[in-house]
Amino acid sequence: MKKISLLGSTGSIGTQTLDVIAANNESFTLVALACGTNIELARKQIAAFQPKLVSVATPEDAKILAGEFGPEIEFLHGGEGLVEVARYSEADTTVTAITGSVGLLPTLAAIEAKKTIAIANKETLVTAGHIVVEAAKKNRVALIPVDSEHSAIFQALNGESHRAIERLIITASGGSFRDRSRDELKHVTVEQALSHPNWSMGAKITIDSATMMNKGLEVIEAKWLFGLDYDKIDVLIHKESIIHSMVEFVDRSVIAQLGTPDMRVPIQYALTYPERFSRLDEERLDLAAIGKLHFSEMDMSRYRCMKFAYDAGRAGGTMPTVLNAANEVAVARFLKGELTFLEIEDVIERALQAHTIQSNPTLEQIQAVDQEIRQQVSVS
């Protein structure tokens, strides 16, 4: 029985992880969960899965739930609660399905406690990839990708030697505005931006997909997960999200992973790896019904965030931290109606241009830059 601790249980990845656990309850059990403020859903999840440790955002909610569920379950809150859930002694695998760089400290705590990490929280790798990868190596902990593109690459690689890889080809749907010109983006609404053509996801990643920042974050995520230079990581627009990504090998053979857009596939694979469990009752890919798949080149002037991400990744040091923190705040401000869609890019560009890079930053330096940029971008 694999014992799972889940960060971000009430979100899109979190709820689908619980679907996977419930569908395979002879193999998986949930021992700890953490969420934020969605207490109504957390209550249902606790009742259904009976974890032994729970963390929520506020002490008030922790107290209410403790009163309802009694002493059998321990209730914590805030950043410390997240860390305790991530490194819970009874868990052997931690699923990081929380949004944003707030996932960094809990992920590091889980690695230090030698949990296998099923990693969905890409912002953690973007903001501090060198620290996370180094910690995983030192503690001999596996980082198993959950993100669909990285799971596809992981499956395509299937243990192939690093030397055999010519390049990774990460596919991008183009997001909510894939068929609009830049001119048509001036007056788009939050509601329109939140309508992804292929995937149902949390708000932040859906906006990232529309700006193409999601793909930029994924390029940096791939650099750290697969240990490749940026010159070996390409992005290809593929509007159907059927090919989840590909690997080209040095002999020009290309291996792709395909499937219907369903995150429960990569989530389940991250939990069953190196085995595969059956999902025979689920929808199967019907290429004849789809008929055609489309591909086009990435256009860095149409998608400015793509260029920001490659530039920040190549610059290294604290630049990816700036990219991520500025983006998190800019997206939150767009969602609140404080910025227009195109202003997201302007805000990120200003933060990157104003920053003096620090190379090979420590965790403390990353945390300081993250805070500084958040303050700066919340008013700029």
Is the CB of 147 or the CB of 328 nearer to Mn ion?
147
At position 75, the amino acid (one-letter code) is F
How many whole angstroms separate alpha carbon 129 and alpha carbon 97? Answer: 17
Which residues ranging from 114 to 173 are in contact with ligand DXP (CB under 6 A)? Answer: 147-149, 172-173
Which helix (H) or strand (E) segment is 314 a member of? helix 304-315
Count of helices and strands (H, E) across the chain: 16, 12
Nearer residue to ligand NDP within complex by CB, 43 or 307: 43
**Residue range at the interface with ligand NDP (CB under 6 A); choices 118-126, 135-143, 283-291, 303-311:** 118-126
Is 160 annotated in a binding site? The answer is no
For 127, 128, 341, the CA distances from 208, given in Å and listed in that order, are 16, 19, 11
CA nearest to 12, candidates 241, 225, 204: 204
Identify residues 235-264 at the interface with Mn ion (CB under 5 A).
none
- H or E stretch at 349: helix 341-354
Name the residue nearer to ligand NDP (CB basis): 138 or 153: 153
- Least distance in Å: CB of 185 to ligand DXP? 15
195 binds, among Mn ion, ligand DXP, ligand NDP, none (CB under 5 to 8 A by kind): none
Residue with tokens 């990285």: 150
Residue 374 Cα distances to 169, 318, 325, 327, 358, angstroms: 32, 14, 6, 9, 17
Among 99, 101, 211, 321, binds ligand NDP (CB under 6 A): 99
Ranges within 148-167 binding Mn ion (CB under 5 A):
148-149
* Residue 215 touching ligand DXP (CB under 6 A): yes
- Residues 248, 167 contacting (CB under 8 angstroms): yes
- Look at residue 173 and give the partner it binds from Mn ion, ligand NDP, ligand DXP, none, a contact being a CB closer than 5 to 8 Å depending on partner kind: ligand DXP
122 assigned to a ligand binding site: yes
Binder of residue 324, out of Mn ion, ligand DXP, ligand NDP, none (CB less than 5 to 8 A by kind): none
What is the separation, in whole angstroms, between the first and last Cα of the chain? 50
- The response to whether 149 counts as a known ligand-binding position is yes
Binding mask 112-151 for Mn ion (x = CB under 5 A): -----------------------------------xxx--
3-state secondary structure of 247: strand
Positions that interact with ligand DXP (CB under 6 A): 147-149, 172-173, 175, 199, 205, 209, 214-215, 263
